[in-house]
Chains A and B, each alone.
Chain A
Amino acid sequence: MSDPFAASLRASLEAWERQAAAYWDSLIRSPDVLRRISRQANLTLDTTRRVTQTLERAGLPAPASHEGAARELYLLERIAHQLDDLAARIADLESRLDGP
């Protein structure tokens, strides 16, 4: 494409984009639109949870079947980090007390 054409295309696109973006912005701020999106999203989330619960009850693998283990792992990791930090602070204190 020639440069004058490209310049013209850019000018036209930028003008269009500004208007389209303004229209879009008003749309995605509209309470009515946001409520409708929210209703649909909530339906999807609720369906997801029902599927997961059904899989669990059937004894089949489901994301939530790892929930308990994930939480325990998180807590164990946290304790480990706290202990490591405590050990580092004690070591630092010991080196200061021992002096140069």
Chain B
Amino acid sequence: MDPELLERWAGLWDAGLRAIWQQYAAAGESLREQGRALAGQTPASVVYTEGRARVLRYHPLVESPRPVPLLCIPSMINRYYVMDLTPERSLVRFLLRQGIDVYMLDWGTATPPDRYRTLDESIAGVLRRVVGAIRRASGQPAVSLLGYCMGGMMAAVYTVLFPQDVAALVNLAGPVNYHDDGIYSVWTRPEWFDADRLVDTLGNIPANVLNTTFHLVRPTDQLIQALNYWERRDDPAFLRAFAALHLWLNDPTPFPGEIFRKYVKDLYQQNQLILGQFTIHEQRIDLGTIAAPSLTIAARRDHIAPWESVAVLHEMIASQDKALIVLESGHIGMVVGSDAHAKLWPRLAGWLAARSGGESSAPPT
């Protein structure tokens, strides 16, 4: 490392950063406890369960919700409540206020038997049964899907397999091209990443292993977070969002082994999806056959799902009714950042409302 960088580091540490870091580290558990009291609190009922997964139906915030339900599909790696982070910073609540009938798929926490769960079964089995349950509960023939990150890929693949089930598709930061200069594309190259060895040895990929790799992308960011906390630790409004996000960033879930194996080998290493070689239960997935109304949302400063790798879906699909939004934001900030309610939520809610039936949409409030 550049000696000058080390010297500057020592100067910062002695000038006050040490005390700031110690205060932040000491506050960790109390921040997570505060986060637990805030995150995922929008009232909902569990309407379906399968294994560790459950489906929440959020209680409506309008008298007559629009008829077409929306199923939110989060990544399997992080918790679902990022879309319902706090009462003040909740994409779910915003959508409910626009009259959307919102459901959430919580994949749950993988246990040892889940190491055998496959990506094929998760999409063509679990997700299919979830959508079926929502169709029966709502009386609607089709459901809109909103997939975030890995959930976006799953929603797109589902739409290819079962187009009759899907009223509209929203891909929120879900890559469909996996060969780019994003860090995960680099780290998973077959020259140095042996997914088979990892899964055959560990089964489910442990949550702490995943959490460590997330933080290794930019470990120095923790110092900025410590300073942010120290500067605004007496600001209750700031602390609420900070604590909930701190919890989410440190609350990963084990990744089912066989799903990890296929996710890494077929997608990250072989890039099968964009090449038209990806299969689910031996059925080839051709993203070009997607004809449902589709909205693709990418973020220009997204280092997890580079924006071009997400936006390419917009070019590939056959939908006549399609739109692309590219935000000046990051992967997480686009959903829960302080300006997400201004940048993303109204556009997303307006697009969905116009395709969810019921009264014509009023401008999102």
Q: How many chain B residues have a CB neighbour from A under 8 Å?
A: 49
Complex contact A12–B193 (CB within 8 A): no
Instruction: Return the 3 tightest CB-CB contacts between A and B, nearest first.
Output: A38-B192, A74-B113, A74-B116
A85 interface residue, CB < 8 Å from B?
Answer: yes
Contact with A along B198-238 (1 / 0, CB 8 A): 10111100000000000011111101100100010000000
Q: A38-B194, A42-B194, A88-B133 are in contact. Are A24 and B112 (CB under 8 A)?
A: no
A16–B29 alpha-carbon span in the complex (Å): 28
Q: Which chain A positions have C-beta within 8 A of B112?
A: 66, 70
Please name all residues of chain B whose beta carbon is closer than 8 Å to the beta carbon of A29 when the two chains form the complex. Answer: 183, 186
Q: Which of B112, B114, B202 has the most CB of A within 10 A?
A: B112
Tell me if A38 and B193 are in contact (CB < 8 A): yes
Counting CB contacts under 8 A, is B17 at the interface? yes
Q: Are A49 and B201 in contact (CB under 8 A)?
A: yes
Residues of A whose CB lies within 8 Å of any CB of B are 1, 5-6, 9-10, 12-14, 16-17, 19-21, 23-25, 28-29, 31, 34-35, 37-38, 42, 45-46, 48-49, 63, 66, 70-71, 73-75, 77-78, 81-82, 85, 88-89, 92
Q: Chain A contacts of B364 at CB under 8 A?
A: none
The reply to whether A21 and B221 contact each other, CB–CB distance below 8 Å, is yes
Closest beta carbon of chain A to B38's beta carbon, Å? 26
Minimal Cβ-Cβ distance residue in A for B114? A74
Using Cβ atoms and an 8 Å threshold, which residues of chain A touch B132? 85, 88-89
Given contacts A20-B5, A38-B192, A45-B201, contact A9 B16 (CB under 8 A): yes
B5 near A81: Cβ-Cβ < 8 Å: no
Given known contacts A38-B193, A42-B194, A88-B136, A24 and B129 CB-to-CB distance under 8 angstroms: no
User: In the complex, are the beta carbons of A35 and B192 less than 8 A apart?
Assistant: yes
Q: Knowing A14-B224, A16-B9, A16-B12 touch, does A21 contact B218 (C-beta < 8 A)?
A: yes
Cross-chain contact B224 with A78 (CB below 8 angstroms) = no
> Contacts of B125 on A, CB cut-off 8 Å?
78, 81-82
CA–CA, A49 to B203, complex, Å? 11
Query: Cα distance A58–B102 when bound, in Å?
Result: 53
The answer to whether A5 and B16 touch across the interface, beta carbons within 8 angstroms, is yes
The reply to whether A48 and B201 contact each other, CB–CB distance below 8 Å, is: yes
Chain B nearest CB, measured from A6 CB (Å): 6
Residue of chain A at shortest CB distance from B15: A9
CA separation between A81 and B221, bound complex, in Å?
43
> What would be 22 A-B contacts, judged by CB atoms less than 8 Å apart?
A6-B231, A13-B12, A13-B223, A16-B5, A16-B8, A17-B224, A19-B5, A21-B221, A25-B218, A28-B183, A28-B186, A34-B187, A38-B193, A45-B202, A49-B200, A70-B113, A71-B113, A77-B113, A78-B121, A78-B125, A81-B126, A89-B132
A-contacting residues of B (Cβ < 8 Å)?
A: 1-2, 5, 8-9, 11-12, 15-17, 50-51, 112-117, 121, 125-126, 129, 132-133, 136, 183, 186-187, 189, 191-194, 197-198, 200-203, 216-221, 223-224, 227, 231
Cα distance A74–B281 in the bound complex, in angstroms: 18
Cα–Cα, bound, A19→B51 (Å): 46
Known: A49-B201, A81-B50. A37 touches B192 (CB 8 A): yes
A12-B12, A13-B223, A74-B115 given; name 7 further pairs at CB < 8 Å: A5-B16, A9-B15, A19-B2, A34-B189, A38-B193, A70-B115, A73-B113
A82 to B51, CA, bound (A): 12
Determine the residue in chain B with the shortest Cβ distance to A39.
B192
Q: How far is the CA of A81 from the CA of B114 in the complex (A)?
A: 14
Distance from A55 Cβ to chain B, minimum over Cβ atoms (Å)? 14
Given contacts A6-B231, A9-B15, A78-B125, contact A45 B198 (CB under 8 A): yes
Q: How many angstroms between the C-alpha atoms of A88 and B131 in the bound complex?
A: 12
Q: How far is the CA of A70 from the CA of B323 in the complex (A)?
A: 44
| Interface contact B201-A31, CB-CB below 8 Å | no
| Interchain nearest-CB distance for A64 vs B (Å) | 9
- Closest residue of chain B to A7 (Cβ to Cβ) is B231
CB-defined contacts of B129 to chain A, threshold 8 Å: 81-82, 85
Q: For the complex formed, measure the closest distance between the CB of A95 and the CB atoms of chain B, giving whole angstroms.
A: 10
Contact A74 B117 (CB under 8 A): yes
A61 to B220, CA, bound (A): 41
